[in-house]
A = this chain, B = another copy of it.
Amino acid sequence: MQKPSVPKGTRDFSPVEMNRRQYIFDTVKEVFRLYGFSPLETPAMENLSTLLGKYGDEGDKLLFKILNSGDYGAGLDDEEVRSASKICEKGLRYDLTVPFARYVVQHQNEIVFPFKRYQIQPVWRADRPQKGRYREFYQCDVDIIGSRSLLGEVELVKIVADVFARLGIKVVLKINNRKILYGIAETIGHADKMTDITVAIDKLEKIGAENVNAELRERGIDDKAIAMLQPILELAGDNMTKLNKLESILAGSETGLAGIDEMRTLFGYMADSGIDLSTELDLSLARGLNYYTGAIFEVKACDYAIGSICGGGRYDNLTGIFGLPDVSGVGISFGADRIYDVLSGLELFPEDVDCSTRLLFMNMGGEEEKASLTLLSQVRKTGIPAEIYPENAKMKKQMEYANRRAIPFVAIIGSRELEQRRATVKNMRTGEQCDVPFESVPEFVKQ
């Protein structure tokens, strides 16, 4: 018989991995709730009509399609059967953004706006599996929709600061604004080529200025424009200095100036709030997704090279694709897999994250087992996770179980202990053994 396996690009999460993942999800969830965001979940399957055409041609190809149930080919000719559109009506969600937009439009009359929701669910992409890229992975999205207020951006920046402070990850927040990028495109005489320009300069850090310029030329940007662009991308100084210099450069672009104004307001709010977060206005930051229309964000870990671990921005027309125009929102998404790698790489997971059970009772059978069961119930009543080895097996086997499960305390109730009503409690880390009166065991093993 073949050894069973999971589909390529997918993963099982073992208890150790799950405890670490739950630590990340619990941390972000707690912060989201503290900031007044409510949970939302949408189904794994969406109608293909909801998904298709929302992620570009490449994205459409990466959708996992679900075969219609029942006799899926009945009444279709062979050509129709060969056309996925006839035999599949549903697909797995590709991200949380499009289902969220679909939800907002579908439930617009029940939703209280501004709608602040978070959503932590898996998404599926038929990407070529490779290191660090999976076909099933979780996204953690948090959005405020139905308000143009820059306080939305401020709240998200605070959330970023709070989440990474709690996780102990030193980060830098890179920030830019699509209106400024438009202003730049306009100023260098290529307002129509904003997407080409942003796609190219987004690669600045990765491929360097020369290669970016080559790509710009390929995309039809003339040398004069490229020469104008260069000094803008090299603007130096702190964020406010950069904005001041930019103001004179973009003086002719109304949109550009509006973007500068937004950034000033945002930085002002951030200074007032005393947010403890290193923040950098990065004019080369573009982010691929074309639905962004205002501020854009990206978060990088300072001490671990892994690309961005969180990102997002302002969008003015996300729900337009489903027929509801003019609803502005702002959102960010935390990359759980990368955050996991950073925490692992820097050994930042809390020491007790791997330990679920705090106390194991050895099973000595008979009356000793009975006494252990009674004490076990009392330990659990105090909220301490505890268990008993289910069989009267050899001590060595039971001890090995405790060790491999990383259980910090083991209680032994043998005949002597039963008589004296004192358990032998062993600290598995130090090897130390103590005689503890039955009634004091919960207190003894508490942290």
Contact with B along A3-24 (1 / 0, CB 8 A): 1111100111111001100100
- Determine the chain B residues whose CB is within 8 A of the CB of A70 once the complex forms: 61, 126
- Determine the chain B residues whose CB is within 8 A of the CB of A43 once the complex forms: 6-7, 10-12, 136
B13 x A41 contact (CB < 8 A)? yes
A309 to B327 alpha-carbon distance, docked (Å): 42
Each complex incorporates copies of this chain amounting to: 2
B39 x A19 contact (CB < 8 A)? yes
Closest Cβ of chain B to A40, distance in Å, is 6
A5 to B49 alpha-carbon distance, docked (Å): 10
A94 to B64 alpha-carbon distance, docked (Å): 17
- A401 touches which of B12, B112, B374, B405 (Cβ 8 Å): B112
B69 x A66 contact (CB < 8 A)? no
Closest Cβ of chain B to A108, distance in Å, is 10
- Determine the chain B residues whose CB is within 8 A of the CB of A211 once the complex forms: none
* Most B-side CB within 10 Å, residue of A5, A41, A90: A41
- Determine the chain B residues whose CB is within 8 A of the CB of A356 once the complex forms: 33, 36-38
Segment with Cβ contacts to B, from A81-89, A243-251, A338-346, A409-417: A81-89
A255 to B88 alpha-carbon distance, docked (Å): 50
B34 x A383 contact (CB < 8 A)? yes
Segment with Cβ contacts to B, from A114-122, A217-225, A291-299: A114-122
The A339-373 residues at the B interface (CB cut-off 8 A) are: 356-357, 360, 363, 370, 373
Segment with Cβ contacts to B, from A147-155, A177-185, A189-197: A147-155
B272 x A373 contact (CB < 8 A)? yes
Is A433 positioned at the interface, with any CB of B under 8 Å from its CB?
Answer: no
Query: If the complex has contacts A69-B62, A387-B116, are A7 and B41 also in contact, measured as CB distance less than 8 A?
Result: no
A70 to B1 alpha-carbon distance, docked (Å): 29
A213 to B87 alpha-carbon distance, docked (Å): 45
Closest Cβ of chain B to A138, distance in Å, is 10
The A358-408 residues at the B interface (CB cut-off 8 A) are: 360, 363, 370, 373-374, 377, 380, 383-388, 390-391, 401, 404-405
- Determine the chain B residues whose CB is within 8 A of the CB of A447 once the complex forms: none
- A106 touches which of B4, B36, B110 (Cβ 8 Å): B4
A1 x B39 contact (CB < 8 A)? no
Closest Cβ of chain B to A432, distance in Å, is 22
Closest Cβ of chain B to A315, distance in Å, is 16
Closest Cβ of chain B to A208, distance in Å, is 34
A386 to B45 alpha-carbon distance, docked (Å): 34
The A55-101 residues at the B interface (CB cut-off 8 A) are: 61-62, 64-67, 69-70, 72-73, 78, 81-82, 84, 87-90, 92
Question: Can you name the residue of chain B whose Cβ is closest to the Cβ of A126?
Answer: B69
- A41 touches which of B12, B112, B116 (Cβ 8 Å): B12
- Determine the chain B residues whose CB is within 8 A of the CB of A33 once the complex forms: 356, 385
Query: If the complex has contacts A67-B65, A81-B81, A322-B1, are A387 and B272 also in contact, measured as CB distance less than 8 A?
Result: no
Is A47 positioned at the interface, with any CB of B under 8 Å from its CB?
Answer: yes
B45 x A136 contact (CB < 8 A)? yes
- Determine the chain B residues whose CB is within 8 A of the CB of A92 once the complex forms: 44, 66
Question: Can you name the residue of chain B whose Cβ is closest to the Cβ of A382?
Answer: B34
Question: Can you name the residue of chain B whose Cβ is closest to the Cβ of A373?
Answer: B273
A9 to B188 alpha-carbon distance, docked (Å): 53
Question: A residues touching B (Cβ–Cβ < 8 Å)?
Answer: 1-7, 10-15, 18-19, 22, 33-47, 49-50, 61-62, 64-67, 69-70, 72-73, 78, 81-82, 84, 87-90, 92, 102-103, 105-107, 110, 112, 114, 116-117, 122, 124, 126, 135-136, 144, 147-149, 151-152, 155, 158, 269, 272-274, 322-323, 356-357, 360, 363, 370, 373-374, 377, 380, 383-388, 390-391, 401, 404-405
Known interface pairs A10-B43, A66-B92; 6 further A-B residue pairs with C-beta atoms within 8 A, sorted by A's residue number: A7-B45, A34-B384, A35-B380, A36-B385, A67-B67, A151-B390
